[in-house]
Each structure stands twice: as C-alpha cells, then as structure tokens.
Chains A and B, each alone.
Chain A
Amino acid sequence: MIIFYPSLYLAVPLFMFVMVAQASILPYFPLLGFVPQAGLLVALSWGLLRGVEEGAWWGFLAGLAIDLFSYGPFGVSAAILVLVVVIATYLQEVVVTERYVLPSLLAMGATLFYYTMYALMGRILGYETVFVVGDDLLTVLFLHGFLIMPVYWTLYGIERALWPQSVEL
C-alpha cells in the first residue's frame, strides 16, 4: 500500500513556486557561473528531515515540476530525483542523523549522482547530454553543498511549525 503524506499538500504549490523561480528568476543570478538546482535541494532537504518515503514523494514531485518546463523526456527527472533522494536519505538513516555537516556532504554526493544519472539517462535516450566534469563539477558540488544549509534549515523551521513533535519527559 502506498502511504500518502499530508506534507504533499505543501509540496505541490512549493515545487510550482520553486520551478517558476528556477525558470524565470535564478537564471538572472548565476552563482559561480551556475544556476543551482533548487528542486534537488528542496526535495533532498525534506527527505533528510522526514525520511525515505516522504523524500521519495518530494523527489517525485520535484522531478515532475522540472520536467514540466524542460524539453527533456517527461518522467525522467522524476525517476532520477526519487532515486537520488531515497539513496541520500537512506544513507543518512543507516549512518547517523546529523544536521550540520552531513546535509552538505549528502548534497554533494546527491548532486554528483543527479548530474551523472541525468547525463547517462540522456545518452541512453538519445539526447547526447554531456557529463559535467573537472572544475565545473567541483564548483557545482561546492555550490550545492553550501546552498543546502539555508534550504535545509528553512524547511526545518517550516516542518517544526506545521508538525510540532511531542517530547516525552
């Protein structure tokens, strides 16, 4: 049985907002020459906060939003982001939940996996995509590793406000 989470009511409008920003705002302000992948950062952050399954849902919705404004094949971003967020979140749960360094490290790993999968899937589907390597790759890894922190802590605040957790004394 598939579990449906209340947070998806937040995810749908949020990702539409994020994708409008990704398509029409962020390209005007590239950081270190790159436009950060806001959908990846948001979905990953939520996954790290709420666990594998919610992360999978958020990755799926983020991917659909990306595919809506991209000329790439529809559904591919959704599949890749589900995998990326699930693996990163699962790694966090298996290793240790830590809020200060781990999100950055996982964001870098997830970014590497995301770009590689995107290029690989593009190639498989005949789109002649390129693999990001060298300085470009290091820059985008550093950028996402840094930018996930404000995204993560903002979503942490939203999560705590919307779903406060009880503490047993």
Chain B
Amino acid sequence: MMPTEQRVHWRTVITLLLIAGGLFILDARGDLEAPLRVVRGPWEGILAFVSAQTDKVAEALQGPRSLREAQIQIDVLEQQIDELERENELLQELRGENELLRNLYAQALERPDIERVLANVIARDTSPTFRSILIDIGTDDGIFVGMPVEDAQGLVGQVFRTTSNMSQVILVTDNTSSIPGRLADSRATGIVHGTGIGGVMVMEWIDLDATVTVGEVVATSGLGGSDSGGLLINRFPSDLLLGRVVEVQRSEAELFQSAIIQPAADINNLEIVFVLTNAPVVDTTIFEDNDE
C-alpha cells in the first residue's frame, strides 16, 4: 500500500510527457518512420499466429447455440476417435476458408482488369477511437500506401502504412475515411465518410433533387482527390461496392441531403482481404495544375 505522505516526484511525470511529446513531433516529421518499421516488422509473425489460433477458438466457441446442443455435440464427439476429430476440424476449417476464397474469386472475376493480392487479417487497431486492421503482406509483396482493400462483399479500406511484410489498412468506417461514392439507381454522387462508432457510414453532399431510396446500393465513383483528413490520396476505382442505404436524411432547409450507409463488407469479422494493386483512377491532377 502506498504511504499517503510520500512525495510525488513530478519531474518524472513531466519528463515522460515531454518524451511523449517529442516522439509525437518526430513522428509528425516522419523521422520515426524507419525505426518504427524495424520495430513493427518482427511482430507480423506473432500477430498472424495468435490471430489464427484465436480465430479457431472463436469459431469453436460460436458453434454450439445452447447448452443442450453443446452437450449432445460433446457426447457425439466423445465417441469419435481423436484422429477423426482432428481431421474433421481441419476439414471444417478448410471448407470455411474455401468458401471465403470462392467468394473472393467470384469478386475478382467481376473486375478482371484489377490485379489483386490476397492477404490475411492479423490484428486490429489497439486504440479506442481509430478503426484499422493489420494485414500480413507489405512492400515485399508489392503493397504500397494508398492501395484500396476489399473483401468478398465490398470495399474494406485503404492501405495507410506499410512495412516489408505487414500493412495497416484504414477501414471505411473510420472517421478519417472519406470516399467519393455514387448511388446505383439515382446516379447521384456524394462523399462517403466513416463514423467510427456503430460501424456505419454517412454519404454526404447528395444533390437535393436526387431521389434516394432505402436499400439503394452505393459504389465508388472512381473520382480521385484527397480525403478530409489529408492523410491519404483517394485511389479507388469506380464501381467498388461500398454498401446500402439504410436511412435517408433530407431537409428542404438544407442544400444537400445525406444518407446512412451500411457497409457491404463485414467489417467486424474480416479474415481474408484483397489488396487492389493496379486500381485505375481518374487523373484529377490536371485541375490542380490549373489552380496554380
């Protein structure tokens, strides 16, 4: 137990805060990029292994839906030979993975012009407010900052940072994410922002004249430009599925309407994703030159 009369050496606290501030400044200047890449690199294997093992345990725990069913299942399993149990588990794992890969392959067939690299999700963002994932491929596999990432259902996010064997992907539901989108039926365009909490997105700046309906599909418009936070340049090709409209927010008093979008990708249960390595985008830099 700490004696209450003990003096606190505030110098330690202030020094630690100053060190943290110094690290932040170095990071903002880009001076920490190389050393942090070295530190992060070796963790890829550990995170991938832990994530794979946890995934197996989580799947096993999600199996039985009730205690009664679980008991029956246990009784049946107890009668089986250990070797068959292991084989069964392995086959089930392979079947799930096979199904996932078939979906991804079907997705890839729809856009054969886009080259894709397969990646496993090995970790999620450790901070309480940011939404990102770590995948097990990096610059050695031809992955670079800005590349779009999707799963079998739709767009997942964009590569934000890379090491030689690992990449960090900002999810479409993160607040920093800002993607030019187009509604499938009304053809109206807007900007799709992440909201951070709740796992939904908001499409803003939709023309008030456009008739937006609940259930309408939203896809990327293919337009380039920089995001609102200035962190990344948008490099999304057109017609990548973003999600569906679940609510329309329209007011005659405002110049634009907005819509709540449910992401098509299963953001909370990502296992395997595609990184789009040669996504074609509309070149808008000519307008930037004219501005100057």
Interface contact B122-A24, CB-CB below 8 Å: yes
A132 in the interface, Cβ–Cβ < 8 Å?
yes
B258 in the interface, Cβ–Cβ < 8 Å?
no
Interface size class of B (residues with CB under 8 A): 35 or more
C-alpha spacing A105/B127, complex, angstroms = 22
C-alpha spacing A64/B1, complex, angstroms = 27
B107 in the interface, Cβ–Cβ < 8 Å?
no
B32 in the interface, Cβ–Cβ < 8 Å?
yes
A14 in the interface, Cβ–Cβ < 8 Å?
no
Query: What 6 new A-B contacts, CB under 8 Å, besides A27-B124, A69-B43?
Result: A3-B12, A53-B13, A74-B24, A82-B17, A127-B129, A127-B175
**A residues at B contact (CB < 8 Å):** 1-3, 19-25, 27-29, 35, 37, 39, 49-53, 56-57, 59-60, 63-79, 82-83, 86, 90, 93-94, 97, 114-115, 118-119, 122, 126-130, 132, 136
Which residue of chain A lies nearest to B27 when distances are taken between CB atoms in the complex? Answer: A74
* Given A24-B47, A53-B13: A126 in contact with B8 (beta carbons within 8 A): no
C-alpha spacing A115/B125, complex, angstroms = 15
Residue from B13, B16, B39, B126 within 8 A of A70 (CB atoms): B126
C-alpha spacing A66/B24, complex, angstroms = 14
**B residues at A contact (CB < 8 Å):** 1-2, 4, 6, 8-9, 11-13, 15-17, 19-28, 32, 36, 39-40, 43, 46-47, 50-51, 54-55, 57-58, 122-130, 132, 134, 160-161, 168, 170, 175-176, 195-197, 228-230
Which residue of chain B lies nearest to A133 when distances are taken between CB atoms in the complex? Answer: B197
Interface contact B50-A24, CB-CB below 8 Å: yes
Q: Which of B12, B15, B23, B57 has the most CB of A within 10 A?
A: B12
Interface contact B24-A83, CB-CB below 8 Å: no
Interface contact B130-A93, CB-CB below 8 Å: no
Q: B226 to nearest A CB, angstroms?
A: 12
Q: B19 to nearest A CB, angstroms?
A: 7
Contacting residues, chain A, for B127 (C-beta < 8 A): 66-67, 70, 72, 77, 118
Residue from B21, B170, B195 within 8 A of A75 (CB atoms): B21
Interface contact B27-A73, CB-CB below 8 Å: yes
Contacting residues, chain B, for A122 (C-beta < 8 A): 129-130, 175
C-alpha spacing A93/B132, complex, angstroms = 38
